[in-house]
Structure 1
Amino acid sequence: MKITRHFVDVGARRCHYRRCGAGPVLLMIHQSPRSSAEYAALMRQWGETFTCIAPDSPGFGQSDPLPGDPSIDDFADALVDLLDALGLECVPAYGFHSGGIILVNALKRHPERFAALAVGGYAIWTADEMQSFSDSYLPAFQPLPYGEHLTWLWNRILEQSWFFPWFAVEPGKRLRGPHDDPTKVDAVVREMLDSGDAYRAGYGAVLRAPRQMPEPGDTTRPVLITAYDGDPLQDHIDRLGALPSGSAAQKVATPEAHQQASLDFLAAYPEPMPDRLGEVADEGFIAVQAPGFDGLLHWRGERSAPLLVHGPGRALELLGQRALAIDLPGHGLSDAWTGAAPTDPAAWQAVIAAAMRTLGATTVTYEPLPAGDPARLYPDLTPDRFGAYLTRAWSIVRAARLFSPWYAPSAASPRDFDPATLVPARLALEHRALLRSSAAREWHVARAAMEVFNGNS
């Protein structure tokens, strides 16, 4: 089952959301510091029952942050503003951990907008726990000149599966299911790189939030809270106390049992899906089918304008305010290259031509290729157990500002540069683009062949 991706403007903010399935609508709110990407597999399952709509919360994924120092009320109100922008009147909703806290607060403030809530783990912190979190849980996260922040980030995300809270490295704080899976750690690391220091606003609002669970006797919409064995919030089921009629909280054995109980509960409160959801006109994702690629391409700009195509290892966000640009397969926010012959220039040209037809572009220009051997320009950046790929990529983007090619620094290869381009915030954008570029080497080879055979520049 395919997931589509979209953007909608919520006032002055841009919000990204995923959509999957058919039937009644279901809103899905992710935990912090994740994004709607964490629900991809679940959306494909639940899409058999619902049209699943999963937004990136403000400041996470590809959604703009809220201004200032927002409270949980601000996040709850922003969620209702999103419902307005999408054209959704009333929805059943699912949220895990902090996603559930946002939903419960939104239910308290806007009960008419929710048919029912299913929540995975609802935190009821003690005063001592709250103090501990305020002191240590959310350190600032800022890029540093030589990539030192990446070493901290890798280990912080790795060890959050070993201890809870992550900073309490004590025997009594061990979790039941520790792992060192680089793929799992990398997924969260990338989402933290997307959020940057904005992660503290969303996470902090949830940690500081007063608990807003409906009280016995309240007139409210039904709420189901479940938590499975191994979830650090399972014991918090015992802290909830009495709930109103129609609501319940229970412990279950497995994540699958939690998901099934949530789905069964929400299916009893269907709400119609509107014919069309709100969506912006100057950014989005187009489905492209061409030899070698079948997936979504991210685009931004003015349709029917000349198309600009980025270079290997880069992304449209590095092109500045251009009329029209796309992220190529295996770059930026677009899907990975899926077919055979990934260095075939005809296959890449077919993808670009398909994008041009869909977007109405009639001309195309390309960023120039960097000098050097593509086999050396784009080394393997597969996530490894120790997170070395993160600092390797940082060293590459820094060196690429100083030498051409970056891998051969010498008196014969200096590159003119503006020191302002070495500020960590700028390097962080280029670093993120390089990490996302799973097909950089292939695009370089194909582009070089295009220049030889077609004269493109």
Structure 2
Amino acid sequence: MAPTHTRIRRAFVTIDDRQVHYRHAGEGPVVIVIGQSPTSARMLDKQTAAFAEAGFTAIALDAPGLGRSTPHNTPRPDVSDQAIGLARMLDALGVDKVGLYGSHSGASIALEFSRLYPDRSAIALMDGLPIYNDLERNLRLSTYFPEYETTWDGLHLMWLWYRYREQNVFWPWNIRGRGARGPVDIPSPRKLHDGVVDILEVGNGYIPPYAAVFRYRAEDAIPHLSTPAHFLAYPDDSLLPALRHLPNLPDCCHLTEMPLDKTKGIEKEIELLRSVPAWGASEIRHGAAPRRNGSALDYVDVAGGQLAVARWGIGKGRPLVILPPAPGSVTQLGTLPEYLGEEREVIAIDLPGCGDSDVLEGTPVTVEAFAEQVAAALDQLVDGPVDIYARDGAAAVALDLRRQAPDRVRRLLIDNVPAVAPAERDEIAEAYAEPITLDWDGAHLVRLWHATRDKELYWPWYNRTIDGVRYENDPQIDPHQLTVEVNAYLKNFESYAPTWKAILQYPVYEALAEPSDDIVVCADEDGRYAHLARAVAGDRFRDMPLGVLARSGEILKLLD
């Protein structure tokens, strides 16, 4: 199989008050791709792209509670809940019949869906189906899921790295010995990194959907299958021994040996999908509907990729557009957008290469290019002028957006802007962000953690001397909030340093030195760049309260 160049796009579908995130590509009969806990659908991008190139519409979903999908509203979801949720997702997308490919815990969902909805299942491929006897099941449920706690020193990141790595060394990961050695290669640093990022996205929330798989009795479901099903047996699969628990198979089911070579394995998976009569293509209704509560997540297409968008509010008055910290993500703002959404329609956009937005192909890493892409997104999202609230590094992009499209920006509120004075700009822009290079041992995680933490303790953070100590602020070094910030950087780790350099090289100081009735500069007393913002704005500077509710009220007052 030749290397794939298929572009995989992302979307959300809304089911009542819950959203399911998925990745999709191709045209033709729909194949649902379901990955393994505790990771997201991107870990199966090879299958998604290959199935698309083979003439299928591949839809790879983040299982509820994993990736960017909302968890089921129950403390103890079962695999049947996830299968029923999948059926409701297909209803919302306008899809009737599907083929299914599930890996490990995803195989359990594919099996249960095929059992519950035989008329909607054309074929099911189950790669590494988990099957356990009662002793194994109870042991896994009681020992497999220790919760992790965020720690001041960032070592919880290393714990996650080695926890995720360990399940490739031993199976199960927490029982170590000759009999538990996994017959697999250690994943690349990139794959381990992506897995850690996926776990950080949901924290200990990955446990309920994962534990459901250990409670599931696959051996009871298999005899009831009536549509074609293949239990794929890869020789290097850590769950291969579990297939010894397979019951007597119905005539429609097959234990199918797979090659060690994964490229050939995918080719065989495609052959199996083609072994049943084609089940017809569907006109898929992409696009997330509004939610009744909380944020509605979506994407907007721009040149070279997609930007992640979050919405709050019900459209009262002039829209308020939030440009979150850059590098960074709207996740760093916590509940602030939700409070703002009680009075205004709020739209937050992660900048290109930041948070959950793509690194846009063909777009240079410059503030001007970022502003151009935000303007293109706004053309699709709103009509008429907007107010903008820009945080930290995103302030540079907001200023250039105002320069490029002055008719679109009615009022601009800049919070905690790193307005570096011209004399220091080149030096700080060059040194402020070290490139993130993935290490086999995960050491890059702790380096980034302490670089981020030291931004609260020193200015600039790499000047760890008496002269660099920040005495004027109460350091914001809560481990949970730092974890959210660090994970926002890790999602697009390759663009972290270039984005900071572009932002710090932009002449923010000069742009703000000239008074303007339409621009408000503010920060709270503990803001990381409050001293820079106060220096450039002088008596035009506005103090922000620390509390989220008070801050939201002050933002709305200043914008009005």
- TM-score between the two structures when normalised by the length of structure 1: 0.89
Moved more, 254-263 or 43-52: 254-263
- State the partner residue of 2:409: none
Aligned equivalents of 2:225, 2:434: Cα separation in 1:
59
Counterpart amino acid of residue 448 in structure 2: A
- In structure 1, which of residues 281, 288, 310 is the aligned counterpart of residue 302 of structure 2? 288
In 2 relative to 1, CA 375–171 (structure 1 residues): closer, same or farther, beyond 3 Å? farther
- In structure 1, which of residues 318, 321, 331 is the aligned counterpart of residue 332 of structure 2? 318
Residue 46 (structure 1) aligned with residue 65 (structure 2): no
In 2 relative to 1, CA 213–365 (structure 1 residues): closer, same or farther, beyond 3 Å? same
CA contact (8 A) 2:11 2:287 kept: no
Aligned equivalents of 2:463, 2:487: Cα separation in 1:
23
Counterpart amino acid of residue 449 in structure 1: Y
Residues 228-258 of structure 1 deviation map (CA, whole Å, 9 limit, x = unaligned) = 1111223333431321122211222223444
- State the partner residue of 1:159: 166
CA contact (8 A) 2:148 2:204 kept: yes
Residue 401 (structure 1) aligned with residue 456 (structure 2): yes
SS of equivalent residue, structure 1 residue 396: helix
- State the partner residue of 1:349: 371
CA contact (8 A) 1:29 1:95 kept: yes
Residue 305 (structure 1) aligned with residue 319 (structure 2): yes
- In structure 1, which of residues 327, 331, 342 is the aligned counterpart of residue 350 of structure 2? 327
Gaps of 5+ in 2: 1-5, 291-295, 341-345, 393-416, 421-427, 513-518, 522-560
CA contact (8 A) 1:105 1:212 kept: no
CA contact (8 A) 2:225 2:252 kept: no
SS of equivalent residue, structure 1 residue 195: helix
Residues 39-78 of structure 1 deviation map (CA, whole Å, 9 limit, x = unaligned) = 2222111112111111110111101122312222222222
Counterpart amino acid of residue 187 in structure 1: D
CA contact (8 A) 1:181 1:385 kept: yes
Residue 227 (structure 1) aligned with residue 275 (structure 2): no
Aligned equivalents of 2:222, 2:332: Cα separation in 1:
50
Aligned equivalents of 1:280, 1:402: Cα separation in 2:
43
User: How far apart are residue 274 of structure 1 and its match?
Assistant: 2.5
Taking the TM superposition and a 5 Å limit, the aligned residue runs for 1:17-56 are: 17-48=22-53, 49-56=55-62
Aligned equivalents of 1:326, 1:35: Cα separation in 2:
22
Residue 414 (structure 1) aligned with residue 419 (structure 2): no
Counterpart amino acid of residue 309 in structure 1: L
- State the partner residue of 2:288: 279
Aligned equivalents of 2:145, 2:203: Cα separation in 1:
12
User: How far apart are residue 127 of structure 1 and its match?
Assistant: 3.3
CA contact (8 A) 2:118 2:226 kept: yes
Counterpart amino acid of residue 107 in structure 2: G
- TM-score between the two structures when normalised by the length of structure 2: 0.73
- State the partner residue of 1:15: 20
Whose Rg is larger? 2
User: How far apart are residue 126 of structure 1 and its match?
Assistant: 2.9
- State the partner residue of 1:181: 188
Counterpart amino acid of residue 508 in structure 2: E
Aligned equivalents of 2:490, 2:263: Cα separation in 1:
32
Aligned equivalents of 1:252, 1:412: Cα separation in 2:
59
- State the partner residue of 1:377: 432
- In structure 2, which of residues 113, 123, 127 is the aligned counterpart of residue 116 of structure 1? 123
CA contact (8 A) 1:397 1:427 kept: yes
Gaps of 5+ in 1: none
- State the partner residue of 1:253: 259
- State the partner residue of 2:391: 367
- State the partner residue of 1:451: 508
User: How far apart are residue 36 of structure 1 and its match?
Assistant: 0.9
- In structure 2, which of residues 83, 102, 105 is the aligned counterpart of residue 95 of structure 1? 102
- State the partner residue of 2:151: 144
% identical aligned pairs: 29
User: How far apart are residue 259 of structure 1 and its match?
Assistant: 2.7
Aligned equivalents of 2:241, 2:187: Cα separation in 1:
25
SS of equivalent residue, structure 2 residue 506: helix
Residues 176-200 of structure 1 deviation map (CA, whole Å, 9 limit, x = unaligned) = 3332621121111111111210111
User: How far apart are residue 340 of structure 1 and its match?
Assistant: 7.2
Aligned equivalents of 2:221, 2:229: Cα separation in 1:
9
Counterpart amino acid of residue 400 in structure 1: K
- In structure 1, which of residues 240, 244, 254 is the aligned counterpart of residue 246 of structure 2? 240
Aligned equivalents of 2:225, 2:351: Cα separation in 1:
51
Aligned equivalents of 2:113, 2:453: Cα separation in 1:
44
User: How far apart are residue 347 of structure 1 and its match?
Assistant: 2.4
User: How far apart are residue 450 of structure 1 and its match?
Assistant: 4.7
- State the partner residue of 2:64: 58
Aligned equivalents of 1:52, 1:352: Cα separation in 2:
29
Moved more, 316-325 or 50-59: 316-325
Residue 388 (structure 1) aligned with residue 443 (structure 2): yes
Residues 338-382 of structure 1 deviation map (CA, whole Å, 9 limit, x = unaligned) = 44752x443233223222323236445532433672333322222
Counterpart amino acid of residue 384 in structure 1: D
User: RMSD of aligned C-alpha atoms?
Assistant: 2.7
Residues 282-331 of structure 1 deviation map (CA, whole Å, 9 limit, x = unaligned) = 53222222xxxx22111122698343323332212223316122111221
Counterpart amino acid of residue 428 in structure 1: T
CA contact (8 A) 1:375 1:441 kept: no
Residue 105 (structure 1) aligned with residue 115 (structure 2): no
User: How far apart are residue 120 of structure 1 and its match?
Assistant: 0.7
CA contact (8 A) 2:436 2:444 kept: yes
